[in-house]
A and B are shown apart, each in its own frame.
Chain A
């Protein structure tokens, strides 16, 4: 992905044609694209998060573009508690500043009412969640309220560095939104928006040149530099009493702070995401047509997939559909997660009673899951181009080529989600996130993610000034204002009447100007994501139900917040080993017995060492 890596001695990637050699740099470009391709390639990792313990800036991040981030980068930033409280007048809010919020809510509510037509009873617009980790669902936006007390900045220049997935916004001189950001944040806001495909490289050159900006978006993938002290330890500011200064940050689910800790210290402000990451994208209408929408175990699931393959569920003629598709490439451990879940394979690691760690591939459950997938492959129910389609998985699903595949749960809702796009092709399609049964008729599990996507860190050079750190945190706090607040509305939709038009029901729709101006200018922080899909209120409920059912069987990766130097250096290599050998076993190239070789190789190449190191770090 760099000169160093690929530029070396290569006038061109393939010298079959001399002209290839024209630009040595082309290779680098290719390499750089690769990272971008993977995501485009069907949201492999995104879909499922990365199989490593932490989200990777380089790998998981770009992928998330396709799915998880979309909601977050732009809109529905909302929080579970404070927003809900403000909306539903049930003022039992835990967030600080509740009183102000409530008050503001009332006033601005009346304002909107005056302007618009409908006032939906506040309590009718929100479906409150009772399960921790399951967000509230909004059928309509709540009346705006204020979530911050004062302008966070003190007039200085604030540079930031953040990953971007969208087209760049128009330049500041002609960008009203950007100019307004300066006013509302009270700073000169100078973000560098970095395309996802080469985030790692840019982060490395900025680190090496000592040019890291005030707020730098990074992740625990940057471990080596983090451990060496490149970023300020924010632990005193974001734990205990320190956090009270930042009410919106305080409203984050507490687990996500712990999950980004490195050796017990917190180096940044995470961008919250759902903890439930992946799910089985499923044609419920097909399952109904085949007479078994509520399949209860592995056998029934297999039968259903066979029916999908042979009984022409889509009505397009026989031989044109299959049961299930792997998501590009990662057949071994990652993208068959729903099937791993059926067999209750542990989430990466299992913590044993004595504190030691067992990797999931070593377990009997994994062996069963692998054997089952091998059966499915042999039965011909898996889409034959599962492993090679470059970026077509989503399209092929919408086209009705198979009945299920794994993706991020956020691939379903909204106007560009699978539910709608599939209906464009088959109007009767009913696409859902399918909760999987246990293989034996019992419960399945679900592998939960860290609940965040990277974090905004403050370089240690800048962190020496405590007041500066607080100012920067106040800015992040502002940008983390909950869904429905004035701040969040501004962040996501720009200036009312300029960047968006406020609809009678309180939703905001971006104007052409808004589409050009917003970009990812304020994407460096966001509130916990609320379920709200403008124009598709039923999707919010659907998603809430799906998340709830997956959350109740969710299990954490026990190594989250742990540390292993070996793992940092080796995880990609080890992961590739599993994927490669796993694929070979599933597709029948290798026997099921070769699983033991795979486990031994995994152990000897660093797996055992990593297990020890993680276990050691978790004892503390």
Chain B
């Protein structure tokens, strides 16, 4: 123990109770003692708390414009109040049904097919023993994340499009070109595949970080118990990163109504709104393009409220399954 710690110990003497009660049920300690005991914690929380108040909650008040016909010139105070009209506009829109169903389907496909990919990749990387190869692969995997959607989509186009690599090959051999890009039936799977391609490698980073926190002695113990390679993955590795998987899954469910804007915006025209319009692109045409800030905000609030419900439900389920949950 160094001098700093010793000094600290001396300084803290006036409050011996706090340290002694740690293992006792907290309820018995008077509040002010508990507050005093945790003073360092509050000190650590304070700057972040201040940030959230100033840069998140203060401007969040501006979301009242969801109940206004907001005009930047008239401002928050003078813009006319319209009650729930903006929400009404959303729910009476003739396209809202198809838009929500597209969004949910794409989101669901992403959760089922794209969400597990980084986990699998992280496990594969974890199994590689050659450090050089491992680092090389890792460094390459995250590259697509840095390439913009325009370029990624253009590449997909050049390979799978009507005038793309594959179809030109087919034409060259006298076959009938196949319609992949621009085919409404394949749009949703295609979107998911693009997401897997672009973001999976980047997604492995957090799981790789989680994997480092697994106590290696656990593997040793498992080997002694006779566990083979797959059993070790199942009984040691996965439980070791279970907490982060569940956390990310719960957060993902909270944003189930967000599917990504740019990627879909760039491609939906060819397949039509029935296949390709999602909430984010919908808001863009209805709200943003027209400078209708109020409508865009109202949709945001609805998305947030649904996300909140999803998170609460997911949290409850995960707690029932014996997990810590978010809160």
* Any A–B CB pair closer than 8 Å: yes
Of B25-33, B111-119, B126-134, B318-326, the segment with at least 4 beta carbons within 8 Å of chain A is: B111-119
A319 at the interface (CB under 8 A from B): yes
Of B10-18, B39-47, B156-164, B218-226, the one contacting chain A is: B156-164
Contact A228 B74 (CB under 8 A): yes
Taking the closest CB of chain B, its distance from the CB of A457, in whole angstroms, is 12
B211 at the binding interface (Cβ < 8 Å)? no
Known A17-B114, A30-B261, A225-B73; contact A401-B181, beta-carbon cutoff 8 A: no
**Chain A residues, Cβ within 8 Å of B301:** 8
Q: Which residues of B contact A10 (CB under 8 A)?
A: 255, 258, 303
The winner among A383, A573, A601 for most chain B CB atoms within 10 A is: A573
Interchain CB contact under 8 A, A580 and B118: no
Which among B75, B195, B300 is the interface contact of A8 at CB below 8 angstroms? Answer: B300
Task: List residues 230-266 of chain B with CB under 8 A from any CB of chain A.
Answer: 244, 248, 251-252, 254-255, 257-263, 265-266
Q: B74 contacts A204, CB within 8 Å?
A: no
A294 within 8 A of B: no
Q: Does B154 contact A (CB under 8 A)?
A: yes
Q: For residue A605, which residues in chain B have a CB less than 8 angstroms away from its CB? A: 94
Q: Are A224 and B291 in contact (CB under 8 A)?
A: yes
Question: A492 near B: Cβ within 8 Å?
Answer: no
Contact A5 B115 (CB under 8 A): no
Complex-state Cα separation, A230 to B75, whole angstroms: 12
B296 close to chain A: CB less than 8 A: yes
**Does residue A114 face the partner (Cβ distance < 8 Å to B)?**
no
Q: Which of B63, B255, B286 contacts A15 (CB 8 A)?
A: B255
A4 in contact (CB, < 8 A): yes
Give B218 Cβ to nearest chain A Cβ, in Å.
Answer: 24
Per-residue contact bits, chain A 48-66, to B (CB 8 Å; 1 contact, 0 not) = 0000000010110000000
A416 and B293 CA atoms in complex are apart in Å by 39
**B251, A11: Cβ atoms under 8 Å?**
yes
What range describes how many residues of A lie at the interface?
35 or more
In the complex, whether B297 has a CB less than 8 A from a CB of chain A is yes
Contact assessment for B181 and A37 in the assembled complex, using a CB-CB cutoff below 8 Å? no
Q: Knowing A34-B284, A571-B290, A583-B269, say if A204 contacts B163 (CB, 8 Å).
A: no
Q: Which residues in window 17-60 of A have CB below 8 A to B?
A: 17-21, 27, 30-31, 33-34, 37, 40-41, 56, 58-59
A74 contacts partner chain B, Cβ-Cβ < 8 Å: no
Contact check, A388 vs B72: say whether CB atoms are below 8 A apart.
Answer: no
- Are B203 and A19 touching (Cβ within 8 A)? yes
Residues A385 and B164 in contact, CB atoms below 8 Å apart = yes
Majority secondary structure of chain B interface residues (helix, strand, loop or mixed): helix
CA distance A605 to B202 in the complex (A): 43
Q: Is A422 an interface residue (CB 8 A)?
A: no
Q: A17-B200, A37-B262 are in contact. Are A388 and B161 (CB under 8 A)?
A: yes
Q: Which residues of A contact B297 (CB under 8 A)?
A: 4-5, 8
Of residues 154 to 187 in B, which have CB atoms within 8 Å of A's CB atoms? 154, 157, 161-164, 167-168, 171-172, 177, 181-182, 184
Interface centre among A204, A385, A387 (most CB of B within 10 A): A385
Instruction: Decide yes or no: A31 and B284 within 8 Å by CB, A17-B202, A18-B203, A225-B72 being known contacts.
Output: yes
> With contacts A17-B118, A319-B171, A576-B285 known, is A388 near B267, CB below 8 A?
yes
Contact A572-B286, Cβ < 8 Å, known A20-B203, A31-B262: yes
Which residues on A sit within 8 Å (CB–CB) of B192?
16
CB-based contact A13/B263 at 8 Å:
yes
- Does B202 lie within 8 Å of A384, measured CB to CB? no
Asked if A103 lies at the interface with its beta carbon under 8 angstroms from chain B, I say no
Q: Which of B118, B172, B206, B269 has the most CB of A within 10 A?
A: B269
Contacts of B287 in A (CB 8 A): 5
Q: Are A30 and B205 in contact (CB under 8 A)?
A: no
Q: Is the CB of B182 within 8 A of A16?
A: no
The yes or no answer to A558 lying at the interface (CB within 8 A) is no
Chain B residues touching A, range: 35 or more
Chain A CB within 10 A, most for which of B110, B145, B280, B297: B280
The smallest beta-carbon distance between A212 and chain B, in angstroms, is: 9
Given A9-B300, A41-B266, A573-B285, also A390-B73 (CB < 8 A) = no
Is A208 part of the contact surface with B, judged by Cβ < 8 Å? yes
Shortest CB distance A434–B (Å): 23
Chain B residues with CB under 8 Å of A7's CB are 300
Q: CB-CB < 8 A to B148: which residues of A? A: 33
Q: How far is the CB of A608 from chain B (nearest CB, A)?
A: 15
A16-B196, A387-B270, A388-B182 known; A8 and B304 CB under 8 Å?
Answer: yes
Chain B residues near A221: list those with CB within 8 A: 291
Q: Which residues of B contact A1 (CB under 8 A)?
A: 284, 288-289
CA distance A385 to B155 in the complex (A): 13
- With a cutoff of 8 Å between Cβ atoms, the chain B residues found around residue A5 in the complex are 283-284, 287-288, 296-297, 299-300
Q: A204-B293, A230-B73 are in contact. Are A40 and B150 (CB under 8 A)?
A: yes
Q: What does the 1/0 interface line of A230-248 toward B look like (CB < 8 Å)?
A: 1000000000000000000
Residue B261 contacts which of A31, A583, A601 (CB distance < 8 angstroms)?
A: A31
In the complex, are the beta carbons of A207 and B73 less than 8 A apart?
Answer: yes
Minimum CB–CB distance for A224 against chain B, Å: 5
Query: Is B85 interfacial (CB-CB < 8 Å)?
Result: no
Do residues B161 and A389 form an inter-chain contact, with CB atoms below 8 A?
yes
A15 touches B73 (CB 8 A): no
- The verdict on A9 contacting B203 (CB below 8 Å), with A14-B195, A33-B148, A225-B72 known, is no
Across the interface, name the chain B residue whose C-beta is closest to A589. B272
Docked CA distance A31–B236 (Å): 41
B115 CB to closest chain A CB, in angstroms? 6
Contact yes or no, B293 A14, CB < 8 A: no
- Please determine whether B114 and A14 come into contact, CB atoms closer than 8 angstroms: yes
Q: A1-B288, A14-B114 are in contact. Are A385 and B258 (CB under 8 A)?
A: no
B289's nearest neighbour on chain A, judged by CB, is A572
Shortest Cβ distance from residue A477 to the other chain B in the assembled complex, whole angstroms: 27
Q: Which residues of A contact B260 (CB under 8 A)?
A: 13-14, 27, 30
Distance in Å from the Cβ of A404 to the closest Cβ of chain B? 16
Identity of the chain B residue whose Cβ is nearest the Cβ of A13 in the assembled complex:
B260
How far apart sit A456 and B272, CA to CA, in the bound complex (Å)?
Answer: 37
Query: Measured between C-beta atoms, what is the minimum distance from B251 to chain A in Å?
Result: 6
Contact check, A9 vs B307: say whether CB atoms are below 8 A apart: yes
Interface residues of A in 307-346 (CB under 8 A from B): 319-320, 322, 328-331
Least CB distance from A89 to B in Å reads 50
Say yes or no: A9 contacts B304, CB within 8 Å.
Answer: yes
Given A14-B258, A16-B117, A205-B72, answer yes or no on A37-B300 (Cβ-Cβ < 8 Å): no
How far does the alpha carbon of A31 sit from the alpha carbon of B297 in the complex, in Å?
Answer: 15
Chain A 193-228 against B: per-residue CB contact (8 Å), 1 yes, 0 no? 000000010001101100000000000011011001
11 contacts across the A-B interface (CB closer than 8 A)? A2-B296, A5-B287, A13-B259, A17-B117, A20-B202, A41-B266, A328-B269, A331-B269, A385-B157, A385-B163, A589-B272
Task: Give me the 4 closest cross-chain CB pairs, A-B, nearest first.
Answer: A384-B162, A17-B203, A8-B300, A16-B114
Q: Which residues of A are at the interface with B, using a C-beta cutoff of 8 A?
A: 1-2, 4-21, 27, 30-31, 33-34, 37, 40-41, 56, 58-59, 200, 204-205, 207-208, 221-222, 224-225, 228-230, 319-320, 322, 328-331, 383-385, 387-392, 396, 401, 568-573, 576, 579-580, 583-584, 589, 601, 605
